[in-house]
Amino acid sequence: MTALTLSTSSAAALRADAVVVGVTKGAKGPKVAPGAEAVDKAFDGKLAAVLETLGASGADGEVTKLPAPAGLKSAVVVAVGLGDTPEDGTGFDAEALRRAAGVAARALGGAKKAAFALPAADPADLEAVATGALLGAYAFTTYQADNGKGTLGEVAVTGAKPRDKAHKAAAARAVAVGAEVNRARDLINTPPNDLNPKAFAAAVQAAGKEHGLKVEVLDEKALAKGGYGGILGVGQGSATPPRLVRVAYTHAKATRTLAFVGKGITYDSGGISLKPPGHNETMKCDMSGAAAVFAAVVATAKLGLEVNVTGWLALAENMPGGGATRPGDVLKMYSGTTVEVLNTDAEGRLVLADALARASEEAPDAIVDVATLTGAMVLALGEGRFGIMSNDDGFRTRIHTAALAAGEDSWPMPLPKELRKTFDSPTADIANMGVRPGGGLIAGLFLKEFVGEGITWAHLDIAGPAFHEGAPFGYTPKGGTGTAVRTLLSLAHQAADGDLL
């Protein structure tokens, strides 16, 4: 992983392969952003003019490389656009800093060290720059021959205060976020022939030993004994049996407990309700919710937050083997509820239902589930944001606010009571499908059926942003994005501070 250091040196004095500076979009052309004063001085105060001559405008995501002049210890200057110049008295938007740093880090792939002279005078800006750089430097190359490029080796943020408590804490948060979002990305990008439920559970067990987490794994025998009909029903068509993993971080002084529940379908063929070509090629990403939950628990442990967090990973492979669940079958869930399966491609809600019911037994202060659950949510909100549903409007609002502050776009969605009757079943207690319109909301209503009485709960449908098929942008790579890790970690921070519930 890319290393992070805080340097008291000026951008001109720090020896590195490149120095990154910010450029804003001013009314009369590009303007050099704070943090780059020493670099601008090396250009005799004409850096903005040089950049304008080269066609730079300061637009968001723009990158301009130019040779460094005498007076700099770096060979290359990388100017990255920050967007519009902030109004007087206002600072830079944290997401603009994250994205700019991410673009620069990706542009410097293969370099050993880069000095980041972006606006980072206060801890919040420092954290944004460091987080964006560490996320932007990510690359998944496990299955590729060595192309000689690699990732950026070290991010050195200039003008920082390495001994300052607030700066050190900001850097620690950035490192934890960077490592754990990238852990989730690695898991999402791993091919399903290598990441099946058993392998995923083993990865959690290994991390548990490293970070002092308590890990429990229920295999197919334990699931059958415990009556986990949803997880078993989804996984029974695969040669690789399912798992339910409980991974817990506890703090001796914690007074609040959160439960995070993640959908972990390591490959989703749709089962007997088989997906058509064009809809199954990226279905290794259907475990993105479980990856986010796992990574968030580890990040909470790394930061030693004063909160108890339990992650539940419902892991299965949805395949159309001879033993697969059929449309029309009835499953008895862990809660005792019977569910008529009308569509085996609506499997995520079945594994989550068992995990939600089991998590409820421990009576946490709140449960948040995360899942790539419905295509309907993608149609409603697009690919760039996730939907938030909850049985508590205030809790939904707090999650929305936390997600936006963390840089994860989201939108609050309703749970209309009138849609509940659409998944009534003449055969079982309920069916796993309702009417087609409002499918994402119906999935949320289905999950709500399995949340314990009186427990605050929210559902994050991350089907849109979990896997990015387009070109990289900002700090977002092609492939798995690690969506929801930062939101969950923010909730853990708020719970530890007593501000969430």
Please list the active-site residues: 275, 349
Torsion-angle region of 83 (φ positive above 0: left; ψ -120 to 50: alpha; else: beta): left
Q: For residue 63, with 0-12 CB atoms within 10 Å meaning exposed, 13-18 middle and 19 or more buried, which class applies? A: middle
Q: For residue 51, with 0-12 CB atoms within 10 Å meaning exposed, 13-18 middle and 19 or more buried, which class applies? A: buried
Tokens of 3: 């290393």
Residues 465 and 435 sit within 8 Å (Cβ to Cβ): no
Residue 132 CB-half CA count within 13 A: 31
Residues 441 and 419 sit within 8 Å (Cβ to Cβ): yes
Three-state DSSP class for residue 193: coil
Compute CA distances 414 → 324, 418, 437, 440, 471, whole Å: 33, 11, 14, 10, 32
Helix (H) or strand (E) run with residue 276 in it: none
Name the pairing type of β-strands 74-84 and 243-249.
unpaired
Handedness of CA 13, 19, 25, 28 (dihedral sign): positive
